[in-house]
């Protein structure tokens, strides 16, 4: 445990405070070297390519260059660096996309120092590190191998979706379609699963992105 090579890393986060905190934390610990920082995904990719670190600590939600895209880009380029996603919330809806995009690990910013260090070492070795919440979600994903891709939306579900996009509350949707509110909720639950989202607002967004609406 005592003998280890130095692990190089870069920090990609739009919040200077977070960057400083991470840099300070890792520089004060033996065995780590922070090569640089970036404030968004695009910068992050450029920096990773230029500095070739062992590990990239990446925030997911950033203005101008989302973290998921950055991870995908690094993966596409076959970068050597392992990406460790550091996010504020485990409920983050980008969890799975990030992992699918090629992230090696995923954990919360409020994790204890030692856990961070351990995670970075693990990531450098190519081992996967997941926070418990993410891990359990992965399991459920395996159980339901559906949610990700092009799950077709049924005609009825699409009708509901259209009304949702117009701001119609469930009760009115029910009246409009001559069904009960319970049924509307069922359709919505199915839609959320198919579209890989958690609420109606995100469902509408995904629907537009996929051309289901608009």
Residues that bind DNA (CB under 7 A): 152, 154-157, 169-171, 174, 177, 179-183, 185-190, 192, 198-201
Taking CB within 5 to 8 Å according to partner kind, which of its own copies, DNA, none is near residue 188? DNA
- Contact of residue 214 among DNA, its own copies, none (CB under 5-8 Å per partner type): its own copies
Closest distance to DNA from the beta carbon of 149 (Å) = 14
Residue 204 site contact among DNA, its own copies, none (CB < 5 to 8 Å, cut-off depends on kind): its own copies
SS3 per residue for the chain: CCCCCCEEEEEECCCHHHHHHHHHHHHCCCCEEEEEEECCHHHHHHHHHHHCCCEEEECCCCCCCCHHHHHHHHHHCCCCCEEEEEECCCCCCCHHHHHHHCCCEEEECCCCHHHHHHHHHHHHCCCCEECHHHHHHHHHHHHCCCCCCCCCCCHHHHHHHHHHHCCCCHHHHHHHHCCCHHHHHHHHHHHHHHHCCCCHHHHHHHHHHCCCCC
Instruction: Please say which residue, 5 or 143, places its beta carbon nearer to DNA.
Output: 143
Contact 60, 94 (CB under 8 A): yes
Residue with Cβ nearer DNA (69 or 151): 151
Binding site partner of 63, from DNA, its own copies, none, Cβ cut-off 5-8 A by kind: its own copies
CB of residue 3 to its own copies, shortest distance in Å? 39
Partners of 209 in beta bridges: none
Give the nearer residue to its own copies in terms of CB position, either 127 or 166: 166
The CB-of-214 to its own copies minimum distance in angstroms stands at 6
Please tell me the distance from the alpha carbon of residue 41 to that of residue 10, in angstroms, as a whole number.
12
In the complex, least distance from residue 210 CB atom to DNA, rounded to whole angstroms: 15
Contact 37, 12 (CB under 8 A): yes
Q: Which residues are at the interface with its own copies (CB under 8 A)?
A: 15, 61, 63, 88-89, 91-94, 159, 163-169, 172, 175-176, 178, 197-205, 208-209, 213-214
- Residue 187 interacts with, from its own copies, DNA, none (CB under 5-8 Å by kind): DNA
Q: What's the closest the beta carbon of residue 27 comes to its own copies, in angstroms?
A: 24
């Amino acid at each position: 445990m005592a003998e280890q090579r130095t692990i190089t890393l870069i920090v990609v986060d739009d919040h200077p405070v977070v960057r400083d905190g991470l840099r300070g934390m890792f520089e004060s610990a033996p065995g780590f070297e922070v090569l640089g920082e970036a404030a968004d995904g695009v910068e992050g990719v450029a920096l990773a390519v230029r500095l070739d670190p062992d590990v990239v600590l990446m925030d997911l939600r950033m203005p101008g260059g989302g973290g998921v895209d950055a991870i995908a880009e690094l993966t596409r380029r076959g970068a050597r660096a392992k990406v460790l996603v550091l996010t504020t919330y485990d409920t983050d809806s980008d969890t799975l996309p990030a992992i699918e995009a090629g992230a090696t690990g995923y954990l919360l910013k409020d994790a204890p120092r030692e856990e961070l260090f351990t995670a970075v070492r693990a990531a450098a070795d190519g081992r996967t590190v997941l926070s418990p919440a993410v891990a359990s979600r992965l399991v459920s994903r395996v159980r339901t191998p559906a949610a990700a891709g092009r799950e077709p939306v049924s005609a009825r579900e699409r009708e509901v979706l259209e009304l949702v996009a117009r701001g119609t509350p469930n009760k009115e949707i029910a009246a409009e379609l001559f069904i009960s509110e319970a049924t509307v909720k069922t359709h919505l639950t199915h839609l959320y699963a198919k579209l890989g989202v958690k609420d109606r607002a995100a469902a509408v967004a995904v629907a537009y992105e996929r051309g289901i609406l608009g």
